[in-house]
């Protein structure tokens, strides 16, 4: 006896539910890892090189560092933070790496080779040489609400806020906080 209609010998296949669940779980886990990786790289993993010897001996020329771009969206730079910025917001310039000395509202001056903030000797996080050339900071500099005064740790070999071409750094030009040395491997680790 012949059946009516077309029949090609195909039977309806049953879906293997456990395998489908496992595949969906894997896809979700991979998507979550990719999102976390993107957020980490975008906010924390920004990598740049130190140019020059202005931060010696804390950071040396050509060292690779990681920059935390997120930290200053929830807080402000503090004295002795090492910041990465674009001078005057110039996106064609290399990134500058300097130490914050003065924060908004502070008055900064360099007298007899020493840095004074609000009339008091600045408490340095690292040992520095006496400053031979105070430049603009020979007179008191009062920082506006969005300005920071920065210096290199190698004070006598640093282009920083003492010079008119850098001047006070506006917060909007600060890319983030330098927080980790990536290379060379012998210096691998967190910055103080």
55-86: b (≥16 Cβ within 10 Å) or e: beebbeeebebbbbbbbbeeeebebebbbbbb
- For the chain, the straight-line distance linking the first and the last C-alpha, in angstroms and rounded, comes to 89
CB-CB contact of 105 with 73 (8 Å): no
The one catalytic residue in 12, 49, 78, 98 is: 98
The one catalytic residue in 54, 158, 161, 177 is: 54
Told to judge if 177 belongs to the known catalytic residues of this protein, a careful annotator would answer no
CB-CB contact of 82 with 58 (8 Å): yes
Nearest 5°: the CA angle 168, 142, 166 is 15
Count other C-beta atoms under 10 Å from residue 185's C-beta.
8
Count other C-beta atoms under 10 Å from residue 136's C-beta.
16
Q: Residue 118 and residue 103: Cα distance in Å, rounded? A: 11
DSSP 3-state of 46 = strand
Told to judge if 4 belongs to the known catalytic residues of this protein, a careful annotator would answer no
Catalytic residues: 54, 98
């Amino acid at each position: 006896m012949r059946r009516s209609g077309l029949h090609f010998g195909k039977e309806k296949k049953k879906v293997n539910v456990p395998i489908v669940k496992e595949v969906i779980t894997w896809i979700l886990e991979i998507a979550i890892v990719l999102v976390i990786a993107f957020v980490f790289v975008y906010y924390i993993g920004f990598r740049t090189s130190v140019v020059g010897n202005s931060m010696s001996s804390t950071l040396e020329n050509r060292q690779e560092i990681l920059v935390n771009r997120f930290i200053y969206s929830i807080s402000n730079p503090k004295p002795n933070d090492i910041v990465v910025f674009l001078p005057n917001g110039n996106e064609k310039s290399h990134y500058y790496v300097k130490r914050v000395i003065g924060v908004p509202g502070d008055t900064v001056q360099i007298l007899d080779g020493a840095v004074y903030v609000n009339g008091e000797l600045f408490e340095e996080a690292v040992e520095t040489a006496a400053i031979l050339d105070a430049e603009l900071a020979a007179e008191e500099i009062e920082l506006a609400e969005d300005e920071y005064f920065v210096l290199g740790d190698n004070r006598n070999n640093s282009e920083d806020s003492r010079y008119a071409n850098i001047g006070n750094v506006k917060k909007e030009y600060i890319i983030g906080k330098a927080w980790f040395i990536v290379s060379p491997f012998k210096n691998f680790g967190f910055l103080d």
